[in-house]
Amino acid sequence: MSDLVEDLLAGEHRALARVISKIEDRSPGYREIVSELHRHTGSADVIGVTGSPGAGKSTLVDKVAATYRERGETVGVIAIDPSSPFTGGAVLGDRIRMGSNAGDMDVFFRSMSARGSLGGLSTATTDAVTALDAFGKDRVIIETVGAGQNEIDIVRTADTVAVLVPPDSGDDVQMLKAGILEIADLFAVNKADLDGANRTVQQLKEMLHYGQGRAGSDADDWEPPVIETIADSGEGVEEFMAAVDDHLDYLDASGQREAKQRSRYAAEIRALVRADTNDLLEAELAQRGGIEAYVDEIVARESDPYTVTEEIVAPLRECLDAPSQD
């Protein structure tokens, strides 16, 4: 494992690919690898790109990555795909993407499964960002499933979140009002050459103006811009990237980047504690013969879900309540 970490830190893409595979598969030792890499992070800008399906996220990410490369910056892209309910793997993982950057070793692309995470992200995504950051990528772009307002999980991982909206998407804008609108640091009305683009831009600006938009910690000071893009031709991509940089500069100047980082780590700790506690309790349940015997008692009205839960959790509670031994 130490050799693998050293190779990654030395800039070997094969080692980076192996590490991310171990992270995604949750292979033995992956936690030790991520822990070792953490001290080498903190340099990459993490950009989230989300929005409704069909908005053109993959095409825009492709053009943005290519433009970063033209500027001499290195890029890592994590594309979160829907999970197969049977294998847990990425359903669309074999699709053709990042065509403009094919063969460019300084654009590392990885398609990952959402693994049932409500927000379209999983803990593995956060760990993969750690690996890309430690590797030395200047920009890490996360393109999410686009599953609706549950995409708000991306705000815990990205420094800047861009929400893409297709033109003439009245229904999509109404959906955005239900929640996803609140997480956007900038909007892009993509395919802006199609009918209805101007109307969609106006709708978004009106919603922002009348206070129906963001509710984050920096919402009072940062007004999300609305950018028009045509990703297929590259039109508006430079303006989109300039808006991203403006927001990143704002985060640094206001101290919000550090605040976001602290919030991110707090959320990650809670997620890991929940996952590990769940595993411990599942093991305890299995040791007691599984859940079916408890279900039988409940069905027979000899017990109830609260009593069963307390019985299973009691050993853990006793350990936590016990006074510490010096």
Question: What is the C-alpha separation between 156 and 267, in angstroms, rounded?
Answer: 7
Question: What is the C-alpha separation between 273 and 13, in angstroms, rounded?
Answer: 31
Structure confidence at residue 153 (pLDDT): 67
> Is the per-residue pLDDT at 82 higher than 90?
no
Mean pLDDT of the chain: 83
Q: What is the pLDDT of residues 164-201, one digit of tens each?
A: 888 875 555 655 555 666 788 999 998 888 888 888 88
Q: How confident is the model at residue 116 (pLDDT cuts 50, 70, 90)?
A: very low
Question: What is the C-alpha separation between 113 and 41, in angstroms, rounded?
Answer: 23
Structure confidence at residue 119 (pLDDT): 38
> Is the per-residue pLDDT at 317 higher than 90?
no
Structure confidence at residue 149 (pLDDT): 41
Structure confidence at residue 151 (pLDDT): 59
**Residue 167: left (phi > 0), alpha (psi -120 to 50), or beta?**
beta
Helix axes 237-254, 57-70, angle to 10 degrees: 80
Structure confidence at residue 90 (pLDDT): 43
User: Domains of the chain, with CATH numbers?
Assistant: 41-253 (3.40.50.300), 266-321 (no CATH)
The larger pLDDT score, comparing residue 95 to residue 81, is at: 81
Q: What is the pLDDT of residues 193-239, one digit of tens each?
A: 888 888 888 888 887 777 654 544 444 588 999 999 999 999 999 99
Structure confidence at residue 93 (pLDDT): 43
Strand order in the sheet with 226-228: 107-113, 75-81, 139-143, 45-51, 160-165, 186-189, 226-228
26-30, 107-111, 216-220: lowest mean pLDDT where? 216-220
59-63, 85-89, 94-98, 312-316: lowest mean pLDDT where? 85-89
Q: What is the pLDDT of residues 37-53, one digit of tens each?
A: 999 999 999 999 988 77
